[in-house]
Structure 1
Amino acid sequence: MRIITWNINSLRLRLPLLRKLVEEETPDIICLQETKVHDDLFPQHALDDLGLPHYLYKGMKSYNGVAIFSRYPLELVDHFPEWCGKKDCRHLAVSIGTPDAPILLHNFYVPAGGDIPDPTENEKFAHKLNFLKETTNWFQKTPPTRSILVGDLNIAPLENDVWSHKQLLKIVSHTPVETESLNEWINTGFIDAMRQIIPASEKLYTWWSYRNKDWKKSNRGRRLDHIWISPDLKEKVQNITVLSHARDWETPSDHVPVMMDINPS
C-alpha cells in the first residue's frame, strides 16, 4: 500500500500537479490538506479519471480543508469531536479494509499558529496549542491500534527538522511549547515513521517558504508534514520518501508530498 500526504495549498489551483503526482508515483491513497474548496464546489468531475475512485472530503471556502482519495473503499469514521469547537475542516478519519483487519487512517491539518508565539497576544497561537491539547487528550483515552496518522501538523519537532535550531527556537513551528505539545501527542501511542526510516541525525524538510527565491540554494526548510504509525505497524513500513523535486514544479505548493510504502497485512 502506497500512501502519500500532501498540503496541496489549493486543490483547484493545483489539479494538474495532483494529476502529475498520481501519474509519477501511482499511489493507492492520497491525503490532502489545505484543499481550500467548499464541499459544494469540490471538483469531482475533474478527478474521476485519476484511478482513485473512492474519496471523502471536508472543506470550506478559501481556508483549510482535507480530502482522501483511494483505490480501496473508504468508510468514514466520524465519532471524533469538532476540535476546539470549530467546524474548520481540519480532520478526516477513514477505515480501510485489508486482509488482516481494517486500518484507521487520520488526515490532519493542524492550525499554523500565526506569527507571534504567545497565546495571550495571538489568538491563532492559542488555538494551535488548544488543538494539540485536545487531540492529545482524546488519543490518551483511545490509544491507537492499526492506525496511521498523516498530515500537515505545522510543527518541526526535532533539531534537524529545521535549517537552524538556534535561530528558530522563537519562531512559530519550532518553539519549545509547540514541540513539547507535539511530543505529548505522539507519545499517546504513535511512532514517527519518517524518523524510523530517516535517522534523526539527518536534516529532513518538507516545506520551503515562498519568500526564498531559490529554495534549493538557501535550503531553509522545515519538516512540517508527518506520518505516524501505531507500534503494531512498525515492522510493516517498507520505505518513506520525501518528494522534494515537487517544489520545482510549475506553481508549486510550498509543501512537498511525503510518501510511505507499507504492507498492512
Structure 2
Amino acid sequence: MTFTLATWNINSVRLREPIVCKLLQEEAPDVLCLQECKSPVDKIPLEGFRALGYEHIVARGQKGYNGVAILSKLPIEDVGGHDLVGLGHARHVAAKLENGVTIHNFYVPAGGDVPDREVNLKFGQKLDYLTEMRDWFHGDRPEKSILVGDLNIAPREDDVWSHKQLLKIVSHTPVEVEHLAQAQDAGNWVDITRQDIPEGQLYSWWSYRAKDWDAADKGRRLDHVWATSDISNAGHSSRVLRHVRGWEKPSDHAPVFATFDL
C-alpha cells in the first residue's frame, strides 16, 4: 500500500476552505492533517471535502483556537486524542489506517514571545507539553506510527533563515530544540523530511509581517513529518509546497508532504 500524506497549519479551516479544496484538487494527498483549525468539529466545512473524496475525518476542535483534523480518502479509525499538560486545548488527534499504521497529528503550543518561563506562562506550557510528549513516548513506545504537525520548533541551523539571529527567538532557542529532541528520541522517531532532504535551507513558515515574504525569505521549518524507525525506510518523496504560501488569503504555513510504501 502506497499513500501520500500532507500536514498543514491552515490558520482557520472555515476561513481558508477554498485553498484547502484547491490543495485537495491539485495535489490529492490520501491523507491531509490540519492544525489550527479554529473551529468546533461540527462547524468544520466537511461537505466540500467529502465531494472531493475525503469521506473520512477524525478531529478535535474548539471555538476560535487550536483544533486538529485528519481528512482521509482511506478508511481511518479514531484512536483518541491526548490533552497534554491538561490545558483543555484541542492539540492532538490520532487515527489508524486499515494497514495498522497510526497517524498522530499535533499542534504544539507556540510559546509566546519571550523565551523565559519565569515571565512567560506560555513558554513554560510549551516546554511542559514537550516534556509530557517525551514521557508518553517513553511509557508507551510507539510502533508503526507517523507523527505530523506544526511542532512550532525549527530544530536545525538550516531550518531557519539565520541561526545566529534566531537563537534567542521562540521556536529556535536551544532549550526548545533540546526538549523536542528528547521527545523525538523517546519515541524513536525519524525526521522523514530531513531523511529525504538532508542538506540545505528548508522552511515551511513565513511571517505575515513581511511585506514580501517570498523575497525576504525569512522562513522557519516549523512543520514536520516523523515516522517510527520500524517504518521510516518506507518514507520518501518529501516536499514542502512553498508556492501555496502565495495563494490568495493564505495561511502563513506551507503544506509538507511525504509518501509511504507500507
TM-score past 0.5 threshold: yes
Q: Which residue of 2 aligns with 1:94?
A: 95
* Alignment: residue pair count: 259
Match of 1:51 among 50, 53, 78: 53
Match of 2:166 among 165, 168, 181: 168
Instruction: Give yes or no for contact 2:192–2:236 (8 Å, CA) kept in 1.
Output: no
Q: Structure 1, unaligned stretches of length 5 or more?
A: none
Helix, strand or coil at the partner of 1:124: helix
Letter aligned with residue 20 of structure 1: K
Could you tell me how far apart the structure 2 residues matched to 1:47 and 1:23 are? 10
Q: Which residue of 2 aligns with 1:222?
A: 220
Q: Structure 2, unaligned stretches of length 5 or more?
A: none
Q: Which residue of 2 aligns with 1:16?
A: 18
Helix, strand or coil at the partner of 2:231: helix
Alignment partner of 1:134 is 2:142: no
Q: Which residue of 2 aligns with 1:186?
A: 184
Deviation at 1:47, TM superposition (A): 2.6
The structure-2 alpha-carbon separation of the partners of 1:4 and 1:96, relative to structure 1 and needing over 3 Å to count, comes to: same
Helix, strand or coil at the partner of 2:230: helix
Deviations 1:111-160 (A, max 9, x none): 00000000010011011000000010000112221100000000000000
Q: Which residue of 2 aligns with 1:254?
A: 252
Could you tell me how far apart the structure 1 residues matched to 2:183 and 2:130 are? 7
Could you tell me how far apart the structure 2 residues matched to 1:156 and 1:42 are? 29
Identity of aligned residues (%): 51
Deviations 1:52-79 (A, max 9, x none): 111111111111000001111111112x
Could you tell me how far apart the structure 2 residues matched to 1:181 and 1:116 are? 17
Letter aligned with residue 96 of structure 2: S
TM-score normalized by structure 2?
A: 0.97
Could you tell me how far apart the structure 2 residues matched to 1:198 and 1:48 are? 33
TM-score normalized by structure 1?
A: 0.96
Could you tell me how far apart the structure 1 residues matched to 2:33 and 2:125 are? 23
After TM superposition, what 4+ stretches of structure 1 lie above 6 angstroms from structure 2?
none
Segment drifting more, 158-167 vs 235-244: 235-244
